[in-house]
Amino acid sequence: MALWPCIANRIPLFVVLLLVCLYGTHLSCGYFTSYVPDENNKNCFCELEGSINDCGCEVDTVDHFNNIKIYPRLKSLLVKNYFRFFKVNLNRDCPFWPDDSKCAMRFCQVENCEEQTIPPGLMEHGDNHPFMKPTAYKYSEAAQHADCSDADDFSSVLGIIDTSISDQAHKEFELWAKHDQAEEDFCIIDENDEGSQYVDLLLNPERYTGYKGESAHRVWKSIYLENCFGVQNRSNTFSEYLAQIDLHKMCLEQRAFYRIISGLHSSINIHLCSKYLLSETKDFLSPQGVWGHNIQEFKRRFSPETTNGEGPHWLRNLYFIYLVELKALAKAAPYLRRENFYTGIVEEDQETKMAINDLLSVVESFPNHFDENALFSHSPQGVRFKYEFKEKFRNISRIMDCVGCDKCKLWGKLQTQGLGTALKILYSEKLNIATESGLWEKPHIEIDPIFRLKRSEIVALFNAFGRLSNSIYEMENFRKSLR
C-alpha cells in the first residue's frame, strides 16, 4: 500500500488518467464511448451512439428520456381497461397468397376474453356512427354546459339529422363520411368487421411463440418489397434484398419509409428476444412456459458479424420510428386532452384521463421532436410521395392478415395500425385546420369535430408507442448483459 503514493508521485497526472480511460474503455464496449473495437470485440451497441440520422437529437438523449420519464408512465397506463381491450378481426383472408401456413403451436393461439370481463362502456356502439357523438358524451362536462347558445355550432349537424331526409339519404351520407375519413387513413381498420372481437392484450402478451420459417420470412419479405420505390429486386432471398438497399441513393421520403419499417421490425425482434421461450411444460392442457431474455438470440439478430454489419443500423432505426410516434402524440395532445377515455367505470376513467394528461405533458416537453414538415413538400413530387406512403402502408396492413400465427397477427396488426394512426396525425390536413382555427380551445364544441380518431386508433397508437418504449428499455438490459 505504501508503494502506490511513491509511484504516483513520479507519474504525471495526465498519464494516469489516460491509462484509466483506456482500461475502462477496453473493459466495456459501452454506449457512451467513442471507442471503435476490433473485429473480435465488436457488438451491436458499439456503433449505436451519436446522432440519430434525419433527426435533431442523439441516441443517449432518447434513452434517458424514455427510460426515466416515458416508460414508467406507459407501463402503468396501458394496463387500464381503456387500453387493454383491442377490437380486431383475426379471421380476414390473406389477399396475396393462399393461407397455407397456420401455426399449430399452442403459443400461437389467442386466448379469448369472456364478454363479462369487457367494460360496459366498450360494448356500447354509439360512437361508431359518423354523425353521432360518443356514448360517453352524456356524462361529459360539455353536455352539462350545452345550451341554446351552442346552436350555431351545432347547426350543420342538426341539418344532417333532419327527419325529413330519407333512410337512403342517411346511408349515402354515412358512406360519404366514411370515404372522406378514410382518405386520411394510412392503414386498414377492421374493428367494424362482422368477425371482429375484443381481445384482452394483457392475457395475450407479445412474446416468442415459435412462429418462424418460410411463412414468417415471406411476410417480412413482402413488407420490405413495399419499400421498393423503384429499386429493382434482383435477389432470391430476404437478406440479399436488404443488402441491395442503399440509403444514400434514396431521397428523404424513401429513406424515412425504409427506416420506419426497419425500426418496427427491430422493435418486434427485441420483444421476441426479451420474452423468449426458455422452457415449457409438456402438458398440452396446461400451456405454460417460462419466458426471459435470450442473449444469444439477440446477438444473432443484431450482431454485426451475423448481419453483415447492418445490425447496429437496424437498432438505430428503432429510435427513428420512436421519434416519429413521439411527435404524433405531441401533435395530437390538444385533441387527446378532450377525450374522455370512457369505459363506464367512472373512477378508473378519471384516473386514466389524469394519467394521459400527465404523459402528454412529458411528451410535449421533449426538446428535439421529429420535424414532419421535412417530408412531403407541396411540390408535385411531394404530393406523389405522400400518396405512395399511404398506399404502401395500407398494403402492409393487408399483409398482416397473412401472418400464420394468431398472436403474432394480433400484435402485428395493432402496431401497424398504431403506426398508421401516428402518420395520419402527422399529415392530416384536418388536424392542421383544427389546430390553426383554435378548435381545441373551444371545450363545448364536441359534435362532429373536423378531426377525429376512432377508439381503436387511440388504443393502437398508445400501445404501439408502448411497444417501442419497451424495446428501448429492454435494450438497456441487453446492453448490460453484453458488457
Angle between helices 295-302 and 252-274 (to 10 degrees): 160
The CA radius of gyration of the chain, in Å to the nearest whole number, is 25
C-alpha to C-alpha distances, 447 to 50, 157, 309, nearest whole angstrom: 46, 8, 53
The single-letter code of the amino acid at 6 is C
Cα 114 from Cα 120, distance rounded (Å) = 13
CA dihedral of residues 170, 174, 180, 182 (deg, nearest 10): -170
408 is catalytic: yes
Q: Which residues contact 216 (CB under 8 A, 6 or more apart)?
A: 403, 404, 405, 408
Which segments of 80-237 does DSSP mark as H helices, in order?
A: 81-84, 141-145, 151-160, 167-182, 214-225
Kindly name the residue from 103, 187, 402, 405 that is annotated as catalytic.
Answer: 405
Residues annotated within a binding site: 207, 209, 220, 262, 265, 301
Locate cell 421535412: which residue?
374
Q: Are 316 and 52 in contact (CB under 8 A)?
A: yes
What residue type is assigned to position 50 of the chain?
G
| Count of positions (residues) in the chain | 483
SS3 358: helix
Annotated binding-site residues for FAD read 207, 209, 220, 262, 265, 301
Q: H or E segment at 479?
A: helix 455-482
Rounded Cα–Cα distance for residues 152 and 29 (Å): 65
Contact 87, 190 (CB under 8 A): no
CA pair distance 436, 298, nearest whole angstrom: 46
| For the chain, counts of helices (H) and of strands (E) | 18, 4
The span from the CA of 270 to the CA of 274, in Å, is: 6
Residue positions annotated with a catalytic role? 405, 408
